[in-house]
Structure 1
Amino acid sequence: MTERSMTPRGTRILAWALAVGITLVAAILRIAGVGGPATLIFDETYYVKDAWSLWNLGYEGTWGDDPNAAFEAGDVDGYSAEGSFVAHPPVGKWLIGAGMALFGTGPFGWRIATAIMGTLLVPLLHVVAKRLTGSVWLAGVAAALLAIDPLAVAMSRIALLDTSLALFILLAFWFVLLDRPGTVRRIRAGTDRIAGPIVWRRPWIIAAGGVLGLASAVKWSGLYALAVLGIAIVVMDAIDRRRAGVDRWVESAIGRQGPASFVLLVPPALVVYLVGWTGWFATDGGYDRQSSTNPFVALWNYHRTVLDFHGSVTAGHTYASPAAEWILMLNPTLMERTNGDDGAVGLMAALPNPVLWWAGIACVVWLAVRIFIALANKRPISGTDGFLLAGICATYIPWLLLPSRTMFTFYAITVLPFVILAVVVTASRLRDHPDPDRRVVAGTATTVALTAIFLVGIFFLPFGTGWVEPEWLYKAHLWLPSWYL
């Protein structure tokens, strides 16, 4: 039975079964054995200890010299009440701290929250892919590719901030998708053919703003998504008004609906962002907390210091990789290396499934070309193409504008869901070719291609889990000389 021949109820059951099954696989890959190694890996040295002092003090305390060995041994009280300067907002560390409070201060406790966030990213991608492609099977493919992707798995098994950031950004994009049908209906129902209506009833935009506030309270790069989605909402409103026959659709979208959309999106983001700083507000020991009697001025002073710090992050690093290098993944970040017997090696590295990644980049370029051609010929832009390009712009393009800043390939975890979506959307378009003969060929070709991508993901999965491999198998993964980690 094909997907098109199934009843709606059968399709829904299949969709749920696929989502649940794939999510269980993702959970196993991310949670099983996450308590090892029992040492602070890579930047866990910052976030885990900050999270624990934040959970206990309400702000990040100061640790003594070389506290890692004691912390790893279970002595987790080596912090003082003196506020420590930290470069990232608190929400991601609150999540890590919650895991430690619930499951103990060992490695399982400090990693479990990130593992859960990485697991939740999989069913979220499933529902987004289902909305964009209309296909249960392609939605399952998207979720499965993310479930086994070595970058996604590795970033779910280490207590960093970026997986939580990726989840909140994709969730905000999902909420904007949910806003579309109701808003389009209200615009078309408007009686003003000159300027169109001002649509205030947009709860999903408010929700998107709140989630983007959470994203920005994990890492400031969430602000890029807030800016891009704000612009995308205005552009979509303009297109919707034009299709609804509104005469002055550009002026209406910018000058009439634009301010309303701003009010719906940005203030909720700001409120949620500030709520993320509740511990810092409620106590008096946090960094820069005493710089002003007005706590909001003090927070502003802190933010100015953080902004100056981010502008100075230009130091060299073994695994530093500017955003332009992410396209080929020339210098993946090594998280952990284990040397076994007889040359066996176990790696945990920020390296996505290379065939998926490179195919996805090609699909993104193709989507961008489609948009350019549509604009050049004054044809309507595909909403799906615009959605995907907005996702790439929000998560990747800003890093290209900062070539001198020290950055790493693991930042690409926020880009990965949109790259996967580009792959399945492209496959959907090829499989829906209007010519029946070409449709059959395209269906076979895309099935073979997606199967090959999935198998390569399985092959590279040890780089996500850190499983120890025989030397020959480890070397078989080194497709580029710079991958010799």
Structure 2
Amino acid sequence: MSALVADDEASRTPSPEPVTPAADPADVARARLLGRPMPTDRLRGWLVTAFIGVLAGIIRFQNLGFPTDKGTPVFDEKHYVPQAWQMLRNGGVEDNPAYELTVHPPLGKTMIAIGEYLFGYNGWGWRFTGALCSVLMVILVVRIARRLTRSTLLGAVGGVLLIADGVSHLQARMGMLDIFQAFFVLVAFACVLLDRDQVRDRLGRALDEGWLHESVYGPRLGVRWWRVAGGVSLGLACGVKWSGLYFMAAYGLLTLAFDLSARRTAGVRKPWVAVLLRDLLPALWSFLVLAVITYLACWWAWFGSETGIDRHLVETMGTDPWSVTKGAIGSLFNYHEHVLNFHETLKTNPEKQHPWESKPWVWPMSLRPMLYYYDGSTLGCGEAKCVSATMLIGTPALWWLSLPMLGWGLWRMVTRFDWRYAAVVTAYLAGYLPWFLNLDRQMYFFYATPMAAFLVLGLTLCAGHLLGKEGDGPERRRTGLLALALYVGLVVANFVWLWPILNGDSITEWRWQAELWLPSWR
């Protein structure tokens, strides 16, 4: 590509040297559209991804069946694990209407049921698919971080950091729902990024072939399959927990912002109108209509059953006069009303507060973890009294940098218009800010599980600044590499220190107390 025009003063000064010609505007637009190319070390990138994936599998699946409560689930596993087992017995539906505790969509419990089908009703069975999804999340983070930073090294750093995150590790080893939602939300995020790059590549081809400006709105972009896949993934996230709706809204706005930026960069004369006319309805189709269809498909067993909870509610109890929904859809609608009422009335009782309840303002720094399992009568630590416990806690070397990461990310968004931070911060806040809408509700730290991957991605972007640019001198690069290595080593060492209380290993009472760094951790 031709060099850029010299500055104005130099261009007016007579010189015997030839003046550098102006760059072709089309070349400039294409270069800005495509940005930095992906790394050329594709084989090494996949080998690194595979190695880190295998490492994640070893760590996540290690002694997966422990702990249990004398062979039964622990903590909130007691809700979802039996419901998943009921699904195996009843053709995909739960059968506990007397307790009305079926208050989440069926997909997460279906995922747990797959493991129970393969390995039986035991710790391995009800935790297998969660651990598998967690390993896949590590692989996804490696690939996403590599795409964001255009660096295989930083992709590997992102994968290692997620492996060493205590929240991701323990939630992967519990028969609960949150790890599945975190997985599908991360898949959708990857699809949004791939869609962004695909759109820019298509606009670049239109620019090269000379038909980009045939309309003031720019070209039509065709079927965007990655966006379609993202909508399906968001529907599956909602099929685990309804809080996937917030990611649906955030990703929809994010993809429209990417479209606007791409059309403006390409030189489309009316980019705002183009987004409204050519991108808005397809985005609504993918992230709303298709996501809703996918969500309804998660209820396939309920629709086909005769014994599903509230399956024939309309036929047996009638429906509200204002309701226009009838039959199975009407029953499902009314069932959702009951579930929504349950969540709205799940208030904190000041006189009988759950000992491990927490509010969202303490989540970013993991200031109020959760004790999932405790046994103070175990043996094997070399002393008369030993402790075996599992505590949901974010690795401090990661989570204590949440607020600096957010501050830096917002600054990069506002002052540098850095799309990478915009994407990561948007996703992080989609999993965080909505919990402030109803502070009277009972809340727990495990709700922050989907935030962990985006925290890691944000810190990986920050690590890229620490490492330095390719054009920096060798001394700067070596210093940055040393600092990055020291930080990753600190995170891994922190994770190793927390290992006993993330896995229920038998430790001394002294070691147990040493693990509880802050008064709020007790």
TM-score normalised by the chain length of structure 1: 0.88
DSSP 3-state at the match of 2:309: coil
Shift of 1:435: 4.8
TM-fit CA distance, 1:194: 2.3
Compute the displacement of 1:193 (Å).
Answer: 5.1
Matched to 1:123, the amino acid is I
Instruction: Summarize deviations over 1:52-93 as a string: whole Å, max 9, x none.
Output: 112222321028xxxxxxxxxxxxxxxxxx795511000000
Equivalent residue number for residue 499 of structure 2: 461
- Give RMSD over aligned pairs: 2.0
1:373 aligns with 2:415: yes
Offset, 1:264:
2.8
Q: CA deviation at 1:154?
A: 0.9
| CA contact 1:60–1:83 (8 Å) conserved in 2 | no
**Unpaired segments of 5 or more residues in structure 2?**
1-38, 207-211, 316-326
| 1:208 correspondence with 2:230 | yes
Question: Structure 2 CA distance, aligned partners of 1:136 and 1:290?
Answer: 54
1:80-229 alignment to 2 at 5 Å? Answer: 84-188=100-204, 189=206, 190-192=212-214, 194-229=216-251
Q: How does 1:240-279 map to 2 (within 5 A)?
A: 240-279=262-301
Q: Matched residues in 1 for 2:415 and 2:195: separation?
A: 27
- Indicate the residue corresponding to 1:347 in structure 2: 389
Contact between 2:428 and 2:454, CA under 8 Å: does it hold in 1?
yes
SS of equivalent to 2:371:
strand
Q: Match for 1:290 among 312, 333, 344?
A: 312
- Corresponding residue for residue 5 of structure 2: none
Rounded to whole Å, the distance in 2 between the matches of 1:400 and 1:343 is 42
Who is 1:478 aligned against? 516
Q: Is the contact made by 1:59 and 1:83 (CA closer than 8 Å) also made in structure 2? A: no
- Cα pair 1:61 1:83 within 8 Å, conserved: no
| AA of the residue aligned to 1:162 | D
Give me the whole-angstrom Cα distance separating, in 2, the residues matched to 1:342 and 1:248.
76
Q: Which residue of 2 aligns with 1:52?
A: 85
| The structure with more radius of gyration | 2
Cα deviations across residues 382-405 of structure 1 (Å, max 9, x unaligned)? Answer: 121111112112211211333222
- 1:424 Cα shift? 1.0
SS of 2:429's equivalent in the other structure is: helix
Aligned pair 1:430/2:466, yes or no? yes
Distance 1:85 1:200 in 2: 45
Partner of 2:252: 230
Residue type of the alignment partner of 1:147: I
2:157–2:460 contact (8 Å) kept in structure 1? yes
Q: CA deviation at 1:30?
A: 2.1
Q: Which moved more, 1:135-144 or 1:164-173?
A: 135-144
- Please give the TM-score of this superposition, normalised by the length of structure 2: 0.82
1:321 is aligned, of 333, 358, 366, to: 358
Deviation at 1:413, TM superposition (A): 1.6
Distance in 2, matches of 1:466 and 1:254, equals 54
Extract unaligned runs of 5+ from structure 1: 1-7, 64-81, 375-380
CA distance in 1, matches of 2:286, 2:162: 32
Amino acid at match of 1:298: S
One-letter amino acid of the counterpart of residue 408, structure 2 = W
Q: 1:349 to 1:335 in 2, by over 3 A?
A: same
Letter of the aligned partner of 1:468 in structure 2? Answer: S
The answer to whether the Cα contact below 8 Å between 1:149 and 1:464 also exists between their aligned partners in 2 is no
Checking the alignment, whether the CA contact within 8 Å between 1:175 and 1:208 is kept in structure 2 is yes
C-alpha displacement of 1:373: 2.6
SS of alignment partner, residue 49 of structure 1? helix
Q: Provide the C-alpha distance between the structure 2 equivalents of 1:369 and 1:214, rounded to a whole number of angstroms.
A: 33
8 Å Cα contact 1:83/1:285 also seen in 2: no
Match of 1:446 in 2: 484
1:437-479, CA deviations, whole angstroms, 9 ceiling, x for partnerless residues? 5444333323222221222122212222121222333222222
1:361 positional shift = 3.3
Q: Secondary structure at the match of 1:424?
A: helix
Number of aligned pairs?
A: 452
- Corresponding position: 1:394 with 2:430: yes
Query: Which residue number in structure 1 is paired with residue 7 of structure 2?
Result: none
What is the CA–CA distance in structure 2 between the aligned matches of 1:453 and 1:361, rounded to whole Å?
Answer: 17
Tell me which residue corresponds to 2:373: 336
User: CA–CA distance in 1 between the matches of 2:362 and 2:166?
Assistant: 18
* Distance in 2 (alpha carbons) for counterparts of 1:475 and 1:83: 38
**Letter of the structure 1 residue corresponding to residue 106 of structure 2:** P
Assess if the C-alpha contact under 8 Å between 1:91 and 1:217 holds in 2. yes
Instruction: Find 2:452's aligned residue among 401, 413, 416.
Output: 416
- Paired with 1:278 and 1:88, the residues of 2 have a C-alpha distance of 15
Amino acid at match of 1:52: W
Confirm or deny: 8 A CA contact 1:175 1:205 kept in the other structure: yes
Q: Amino acid of the residue matched to residue 408 of structure 1?
A: Y
Q: Is the 8 A contact 2:466 2:480 kept in 1?
A: yes
Give yes or no for contact 1:41–1:336 (8 Å, CA) kept in 2. yes
